[in-house]
A and B are shown apart, each in its own frame.
Chain A
Amino acid sequence: MASIAFNDDSAVVIIGSGAGGGTLANELCQKGIKVVVLEAGARQSPQSFVNDEWKSFGQLAWLDPRTTSGTWRVAKDFSGLPAWICKTVGGSTTHWAGASLRLQEHEFRAKTVYGDIKGANLLDWPITLSELEPYYAKAENKMGVTRTNGIPGLPGNNNFKVMYAGAKKMGYKEVHTGNMAINSQPRDGRGRCMQLGFCFQGCKSGAKWSTLYTEIPKAEATGNLDLRPESHVTRIEHNDKGLVSGVVYFDKDGKEQRQKARVVCVAGNSIETPRLLLLSASNMFADGLANSSGQVGRNYMRHMTGSVYAAFKDPVHMYRGTTMAGIIRDESFHNPKRGFVGGYEMETLSLGLAFMPAFLDPGAWGAEYAWWMDHYTNLAGMWLVGEDMPRETNRITLNTNVKDKWGSPVPNVHFDDHENDIVMRNHAFTQGERIYQAAGAIKTYRTPPYPSTHNLGTCRISANARDGVANKWGQTHDIPNLFISDGSQFTTGGAENPTLTIVSLAIRQADYIAKQITERAI
């Protein structure tokens, strides 16, 4: 591992080590570029992960204070926890389920295809599916996505059996165990899935792809990476030419440090990334870095989500095996006849007994609720995830009334569901319930959205500098050596789980940064 001096201004500094930051770091290191990764969280390993929902949550989740506002139900149920994402080396790739789907062609052209939707700030992506396809292929190979590169699908568990039976009775066609970045057979030095059932708690077998034990050690092996865990960045600095020059952070001992940089790439997930740009406001950039468009922090998307749980006469034991064990894709297409634009995916999901009472219907109680817990072993579950509408008013702002332990204003996450999100959710709830009824459910339950796991769009990429924060490479329109390298880049959300796209964009961005460095453009 490299040791890069604080005053060395030749390195690329990446903030965050998740799907975006971790991948970008490895790609740059492989090209011989020196990289400093500043990760706010500590370093865990498959050995230190625990098959215990609350303990693991304490080990991996981002629990720094945040506030919420808006009419979304998360603001009521989890007012201090708008998002369920991670603060650890590997970021939320430790926690993610592994679903690796490409965005669809039309989803890159949401404004053109969906038209003007009132109350939505739609925009076409500055890139097309065909431009991204070679990078999707590289990402799938890197991550070992099932049903690509000759990798077999995973074996379906009981939860999938139930979903499959119901879906087929409903006439759904595309139903299978998904495209998962979980080894169905040994690959890339990692074993195959042991069907532990604790995907969300960090994969103890290492079968699920996470930058923690793939990209990061590979980057370390090049000798070009200086990874600094427990390093919380509070500010990005710039010089009088308006180029970023370094970052200020607090190290694991709480000591303030200043790392010089040639290029800064921000990959702190869609809440911390815009927050950091806003926290870095200066005389030259009074509204925050790279914010001449006023779009930093805006267009916050979290995907339309919800879950359906169903109780059956006989046992299911949904907790056994891969959490996201299978998918129905038939509702993911754009078909406005359903009463909404965009589409949604249906993916199996389960919660352990510890999380079930916290998330089945937060705040609910009484005999009816107890009935569901009494029938825990007979439950099956699915998650509904679809495209939500970007809105300028759904945004991350600095809440100056609340400070974190470094004295910075905490991020406030404001969200109001768009009418399209609500209509889509109700459609998805209805279809999910019908699927389980077709499989013989005795009762079904509509579970409201969990704290956001798919946080997107707050520094979106745009063809025109006036519409977004960064260009088609994630390079900010205003500051050529400042990059956005995570899901904040998403111009629109698509229906698909976003990690594969984040990784593909990072591989593509690494090529661009390397070229720009070679050409001395940055």
Chain B
Amino acid sequence: MRTIPIAPVASAFSDCEESGIVPKQNLPLARREFLKGSGILMGTLAAGSVLAGLAPSTVWAVELKTLSQAEGETLMAMARTIYPHKKLPDAVYAILAKDLDGAASGSADTANMLREGVSNLNSMAGGNFKKASDAKKLAIVKGLEGSTFFGAVRGQCVTSVYNNDMAFAVFGFPGSAWEKGGYITRGFQDLKWLPAPPKSASPSAYMG
């Protein structure tokens, strides 16, 4: 799992479950050096959301090196159509745009493929994919299933959208357990809505 510098790191979220203490992280804001890039994706974490409640600032920003801001935003909208999660902030889908931008920076063919795909999305939406209704977006993306462009974006979503600190926090997966001593004393058998199995099937834990 990666930490990309637009959000607090995972341990910040997972620790608080136990201790109630929330270590604050510094979210980098748009700085002068961003202007060297080809585009900037920016946004704010919704006030009151699980992430905003933990972060010292709600503003996030991601720099693109090859794709334009509009292209990045269109890819984000496509990702939200492929894996629609109301609970996930745009910041998570921005990771997808950043990762695809990284691939585009490494290969002109990939850059062209993504640009063509984005322009295709827009023309099928009659000009602006981002502004289309959810139903229209879904119909357009469905029509692209099986294409290289769709495959590249969906495939990248699997790691970009889900394998990051914010997604872990939103979906409730605490990540690495080793440094916290595992779950032997932290609820590995705390489920109460079903009866506990007998000791013959599930013996007590050895506690020394």
Select which of A50, A162, A320, A367 is within 8 A of B188 by beta carbon: A320
Give residues 162-208 of B contacting A (CB, 8 Å): 162-163, 167-168, 171-173, 175-178, 181-184, 186-191, 193-197, 200-206
Using A156-B189, A165-B194, A321-B189 as known contacts, say yes or no to A194 and B201 having CB atoms under 8 A apart: no
Select which of B138, B162, B195 is within 8 A of A357 by beta carbon: B162
Cα A162 to Cα B1 in complex, Å, equals 28
Cα A9 to Cα B172 in complex, Å, equals 57
Contacts of A160 in B (CB 8 A): 197, 202
Contact B191 A162 (CB under 8 A): yes
Q: Does A193 contact B (CB under 8 A)?
A: yes
Contact A51 B178 (CB under 8 A): yes
Mostly, the A contact residues are loop
Contact A50 B176 (CB under 8 A): yes
Contacts of A357 in B (CB 8 A): 83, 157-158, 161-162
Contact A354 B197 (CB under 8 A): no
Select which of B85, B173, B181, B202 is within 8 A of A374 by beta carbon: B85
Cα A152 to Cα B202 in complex, Å, equals 9
Q: Does A290 contact B (CB under 8 A)?
A: no
Residue of A nearest to B163 (CB): A354
Contact B177 A154 (CB under 8 A): no
Contacts of B31 in A (CB 8 A): none
Contact A161 B196 (CB under 8 A): yes
Nearest Cβ in chain B — how far from A294, in angstroms?
A: 39
Interface size on A, residues (CB 8 A): 59
Give residues 178-195 of A contacting B (CB, 8 Å): 184-186, 192-195
Using A321-B183, A377-B172 as known contacts, say yes or no to A155 and B194 having CB atoms under 8 A apart: no
Cα A363 to Cα B154 in complex, Å, equals 8
Cα A353 to Cα B193 in complex, Å, equals 23
Contact B191 A158 (CB under 8 A): yes
Using A157-B189, A176-B202, A353-B173 as known contacts, say yes or no to A164 and B184 having CB atoms under 8 A apart: no
Nearest Cβ in chain A — how far from B175, in angstroms?
A: 7
Cα A373 to Cα B167 in complex, Å, equals 10
Cα A176 to Cα B202 in complex, Å, equals 6
Give residues 134-154 of B contacting A (CB, 8 Å): 138, 154
Using A161-B189, A354-B163 as known contacts, say yes or no to A195 and B183 having CB atoms under 8 A apart: yes
Segment of A84-92, A131-139, A311-319 engaged in the interface with chain B: A311-319
Select which of A185, A374, A376 is within 8 A of B206 by beta carbon: A185
Q: Does B159 contact A (CB under 8 A)?
A: yes
Contact A366 B206 (CB under 8 A): no
Contacts of B195 in A (CB 8 A): 165
Residue of A nearest to B83 (CB): A370
Q: Does B50 contact A (CB under 8 A)?
A: no
Q: Does B42 contact A (CB under 8 A)?
A: no
Nearest Cβ in chain B — how far from A45, in angstroms?
A: 13
Q: Does A205 contact B (CB under 8 A)?
A: yes
Residue of A nearest to B174 (CB): A319
Contact A367 B84 (CB under 8 A): yes
Select which of B171, B188, B189, B204 is within 8 A of A353 by beta carbon: B171
Q: Does B36 contact A (CB under 8 A)?
A: no
Select which of B138, B157, B183 is within 8 A of A157 by beta carbon: B183
Contact A352 B173 (CB under 8 A): yes
Interface size on B, residues (CB 8 A): 45
Cα A197 to Cα B180 in complex, Å, equals 12
Nearest Cβ in chain A — how far from B170, in angstroms?
A: 9
Q: Does A284 contact B (CB under 8 A)?
A: no
Select which of A158, A184, A370 is within 8 A of B85 by beta carbon: A370
Residue of A nearest to B154 (CB): A365
Select which of A320, A326, A439 is within 8 A of B183 by beta carbon: A320
Cα A439 to Cα B193 in complex, Å, equals 10
Contacts of A365 in B (CB 8 A): 82-83, 154, 157
Q: Does B87 contact A (CB under 8 A)?
A: yes
Contacts of A314 in B (CB 8 A): 191, 193
Q: Does A356 contact B (CB under 8 A)?
A: yes
Cα A332 to Cα B140 in complex, Å, equals 47
Contact A194 B82 (CB under 8 A): no
Using A193-B184, A197-B183 as known contacts, say yes or no to A161 and B194 having CB atoms under 8 A apart: yes
Contacts of A358 in B (CB 8 A): 158-159
Cα A321 to Cα B168 in complex, Å, equals 18
Nearest Cβ in chain A — how far from B195, in angstroms?
A: 7
Cα A156 to Cα B199 in complex, Å, equals 10
Using A54-B163, A155-B202, A165-B195 as known contacts, say yes or no to A376 and B172 having CB atoms under 8 A apart: yes
Contacts of A376 in B (CB 8 A): 171-173
Q: Does A517 contact B (CB under 8 A)?
A: no
Give residues 356-386 of A contacting B (CB, 8 Å): 356-358, 363, 365-367, 369-370, 373-374, 376-377
Contacts of B204 in A (CB 8 A): 155
Contacts of B181 in A (CB 8 A): 194
Give residues 25-44 of A contacting B (CB, 8 Å): none
Cα A407 to Cα B193 in complex, Å, equals 58
Cα A370 to Cα B88 in complex, Å, equals 11
Give residues 145-185 of A contacting B (CB, 8 Å): 152-158, 160-162, 164-165, 175-177, 184-185
Which residues of A come within 8 Å of B, CB atoms? 50-55, 152-158, 160-162, 164-165, 175-177, 184-186, 192-198, 204-205, 314-317, 319-321, 326, 352-354, 356-358, 363, 365-367, 369-370, 373-374, 376-377, 439-440
Other A-B contacts than A156-B197, A157-B189, 6 sampled, CB-CB below 8 A, are A51-B178, A54-B1, A161-B196, A326-B201, A353-B171, A440-B194
Complex A-B: 13 CB contacts under 8 Å: A51-B175, A51-B177, A156-B189, A157-B189, A158-B189, A158-B191, A192-B206, A326-B202, A357-B162, A365-B83, A366-B84, A373-B85, A377-B171
Query: Lowest 3 CB-CB distances: which A-B pairs, in order?
Result: A194-B182, A156-B202, A353-B173
